[in-house]
Structure 1
Amino acid sequence: MDDASDKYRAPALEKGLDIIELLANHGEGLTQRELAKSLDRSPNEIYRMLSTLVRRGYVIRSASGDHYSLSLKMFSISQRHPPIGRVIEAALPRMRSLTRKAWQSCHMGMESNGDIVIVATAESPGNWGLALKTGTVVGLWNTGTGRVLAAFRTPEEIDDLIARHRRAVGEPEVVRAEFDGHLARIRTAGYEKMPSATAVGVTNLAFPVFNPSGQVVAVLSCPYLERVDDLVVPPIDEVVEIYRTLANELTALYGGTNPFEKDLTP
């Protein structure tokens, strides 16, 4: 870090952010001692910061009082951010309605400082289905959501996204030539249809939601599972149309336009 950057550092704020980021990776919570050891800080430093974070509601203590974990306050605040809030508010009731028609779960993902985050999810109405939890961080280059978020950017923007991206749990290191090939294919088709790179027997369907500037603000995804019993449900080609239509509807509600709408084919 150069001298100019050092001049404007806020050590107390950085300690608080270090705690929040560490707890975000430990859903079961950590003790004060574990936090201090992981962050190479003194227990007294950690205690003062934890007390403030608990008082402000960002961190909660376990019933026994010896473990600390993140509250839902950070997530709640993120939902107030106007672009996210508008998209989710419009999307969720429609997503829930269409899961009953498609008999398939769906979720919505957005990019946040290089992370690919699931911001909304709707479960299948059946006895089983695959639904990602809200707040889950998924891969950039090995998921339909990540690929579609990257596909409609300029080469410079893709470079920047890759540079900022932190690999999700289980995500392999990006192979750039292969990644670029996927993005070119998505730009041609207008959406992604791929065998899941994280689970066997799942076909990922992912559709862009464009903002008024022509940028992809969100991705509507469906982890399609094929049924082999006697229940008659829509086939994959019909599910593609169901969720692609919803993505285009959300684009229109957001004031954007989908340049691929007329040319898309399953």
Structure 2
Amino acid sequence: MAGQSARPATEADKDARYRAPALDKGLDILELLSTQAGGLTRAEIVKAMGRGPSEVYRMLERLVARDYVARSREGDRYTLSMKLFVLAHRHPPVRRLVQCALPLMDAFAQQAGQSCHLVVADRDAATVVAHASSPGNWEYGIRIGSRIELLTTGSGQMLLAFQDENARAETLARWAGTRESEAYARLEPVLTGYRAAGYRIGESQQIRGVDDITVPILSPDGHAIAVLTCAYIQRLDDRQIDIRQALTLLREIAEKLSLS
């Protein structure tokens, strides 16, 4: 009606305005297959997505043609190809960081007799982008590409502790009114302590008997661009450096990478 002020656009309005159904279908298929190590048949994909067979078939054919999805030799099962992995590792900042970090991480693993991994922030989670194995027969490790939570892991908490102000504000805005917001409020004094200390040593929140050592890799303005974590395992049948010596070595690596 003339003279009536326009209603502010809501998030739902924006979602409806910018919908791309075909793209959504393709992304849904990729996300579904990413959870299935053995792949799925077309009928299983149709059932899981709740879509019509013909629209799923057309999208699968395009994903196969573009090499995002691989079809089994028998033609009845679909799995993710390595293309997404390759594309992710072309991301220049992460690739450069991994290239610089890996030789130092390997040297740490040899000297400390412990594994370590490199983690970067990934919106409301974090992703493992590199791993160095200990030289011995026994180790605790985490797969490259694993997504881990920010609030309940040593690596995630260190990323939060050294988050820049804008990223922190965006994270809290997305978490507003959720359990994550409440958990962050309870955790904030702990994060302040990590910032003051410049590291975290503490029991793993996932595996009993493992102590995590985590240090930040900092940008010139003092914010975390990544973190290094050593899942320290106390061996009973071999001599090894103690956890404080491992922390010193890990901090030296982080300092070198922070200056790179």
Q: What interval of TM-score do these two structures reach, taking the shorter chain for normalisation?
A: 0.7 to 0.9
Q: Provide the rounded CA distance (Å) in 1 between the counterparts of 2:189 and 2:199.
A: 14
Q: Provide the rounded CA distance (Å) in 2 between the counterparts of 1:69 and 1:162.
A: 36
Deviates more, 1:195-204 or 1:65-74: 65-74
Summarize the Cα distance change of 1:80–1:184 in structure 2 as closer, same or farther, 3 Å threshold: same
Unpaired stretches in structure 1, ≥5 consecutive residues: 166-171, 254-266
Look up the equivalent residue of 1:143 and give its one-letter code: T
1:225 and 2:238 matched: no
Matches within 5 A, 1:183-262: 183-229=191-237, 231-253=238-260
Match of 1:257 in 2: none
CA contact (8 A) 1:113 1:164 kept: no
Aligned residues: 246
Provide TM-score, normalisation by structure 2: 0.87
Residue 134 (structure 2) aligned to one of 109, 124, 134:
124
Summarize the Cα distance change of 1:65–1:182 in structure 2 as closer, same or farther, 3 Å threshold: farther
1:45 and 2:55 matched: yes
Residue 158 (structure 2) aligned to one of 132, 142, 148:
148
Give the deviation of 1:115 after TM superposition: 2.3
Q: Provide the rounded CA distance (Å) in 1 between the counterparts of 2:149 and 2:181.
A: 10
Look up the equivalent residue of 1:91 and give its one-letter code: A
CA contact (8 A) 2:126 2:149 kept: yes
Summarize the Cα distance change of 1:84–1:252 in structure 2 as closer, same or farther, 3 Å threshold: same
SS of aligned partner of 1:9: coil
CA contact (8 A) 1:114 1:162 kept: no
Unpaired stretches in structure 2, ≥5 consecutive residues: 1-10
SS of aligned partner of 1:175: helix
CA contact (8 A) 2:172 2:181 kept: no
RMSD between aligned residues: 2.1
Residue 67 (structure 2) aligned to one of 49, 57, 70:
57
Summarize the Cα distance change of 1:55–1:189 in structure 2 as closer, same or farther, 3 Å threshold: same
Identity %: 39
Q: Provide the rounded CA distance (Å) in 1 between the counterparts of 2:150 and 2:12.
A: 30
Larger Rg: 2
Give the deviation of 1:64 after TM superposition: 3.6
Provide TM-score, normalisation by structure 1: 0.85
Give the deviation of 1:211 after TM superposition: 2.2
Matches within 5 A, 1:67-216: 67-154=77-164, 157-158=167-168, 160-161=170-171, 175-216=183-224
SS of aligned partner of 2:229: strand
Q: Provide the rounded CA distance (Å) in 2 between the counterparts of 1:191 and 1:113.
A: 22
Give the deviation of 1:114 after TM superposition: 1.7
Give the deviation of 1:94 after TM superposition: 1.5
